[in-house]
Amino acid sequence: MEQPILEVKNLSIRYNGAPADAVRGVSFTLGRERLGIVGESGSGKSTVGRAILRLLPSAKVSADIMRFEGTDLTALSEAQMLKLRGRRMSMILQDPKFSLNPIRRVGHQVAEAYLRHFPVSRAEAKAKTLEMLAAVRIRDPERVHDLYPHEISGGMGQRVMIAMMLLADPDLVIADEPTSALDVTVRLQVLNILDGLVRDRGIGLIMISHDLNLVRNFCDRVLIMYGGRVVETIAARDLDQATHPYTRGLLAAQPRIGGPRAPLAVLDRRPEWTEEFTQ
């Protein structure tokens, strides 16, 4: 049996000074597939992604197992993690306004990880950067390469972030709402790029999203999170047959073209959902 790319068992996360865990008892495995994590804002989706990359210095993270390609992530020093981040595992963050350095040109930021992890010249790194900017459908990559973040649109900034995280051909990509600022056409192009990486290179992809339609049509499996816990795990193609009342509530709250014009259902949240765990 092929070894999973990522194994997580009983992951719990508590921010310093918080009265309760932000994430509790989360367990899952990731193979060479597309795994969606969905839930409302505050459910713990992004926190799980950042914990995997050890990007939560102000939180206490504990897990029985948090293993990437056989490597125990909880046992690595920060120096060892720096060799993994950006090279073998990366995270596409949601908002480029807070992720890009405002005083550095876009192209230099995209090339940084490639220069850090590969013995290449700056000219080679620039050529690879221009190639990746073109791959995420940025017109005139030479011009965009020399711009500062405030000189590009939000959608273009998100494509820059995607190019930056994919440049080094990582084995694991965690995508946190990677297409939220993109128009429909570019969104499909970016999803095709991510799909190609899973299909052709065999990477593991975690897609964090609020969009149930996106994960239904793009992912292989879906984790549903509520209150810091996974309440249901289901094949994406079977999402409409989900049984947990929270998942059913999320589905019922979706507007549908051609659907009834009655007010959308409102979630009836129950206290016991934060105590149960369905794997």
Q: Is the pLDDT of residue 276 over 60?
A: no
Tokens encoding 100: 């890009």
The sign of the dihedral angle between the CA atoms of 68, 71, 76, 79 is negative
Q: Is the pLDDT of residue 277 over 80?
A: no
| Gap between the Cα atoms of 126 and 104, Å rounded | 15
Contacts of residue 62, Cβ cutoff 8 Å, sequence gap at least 6? 11, 12, 13, 74
Q: Are 146 and 88 in contact (CB under 8 A)?
A: no
pTM listed for this prediction: 0.88
With CA atoms as reference, report the closest residue to 153 among 191, 97, 93, 193.
Answer: 97
How many CA atoms within 13 Å lie on the side-chain side of 40?
14
pLDDT above 70 coverage of the chain, percent: 95
Read off the pLDDT of residues 49-71 as tens digits, 9 standing for 90 and up: 999 999 999 899 999 999 999 99
How much of the chain is helix, strand and coil, in % rounded to 5? 40, 20, 40
Read off the pLDDT of residues 130-184 as tens digits, 9 standing for 90 and up: 999 998 888 899 999 999 999 998 778 888 988 898 898 899 999 998 877 677 7
Indicate the average pLDDT of the chain: 88
Q: Which domains does the chain have, with CATH numbers?
A: 1-77+211-279 (3.40.50.300)
Q: Is the pLDDT of residue 249 over 90?
A: no
With CA atoms as reference, report the closest residue to 91 among 180, 24, 175.
Answer: 175
Tokens encoding 101: 């350095």
| Gap between the Cα atoms of 238 and 248, Å rounded | 12
Q: Is the pLDDT of residue 113 over 50?
A: yes
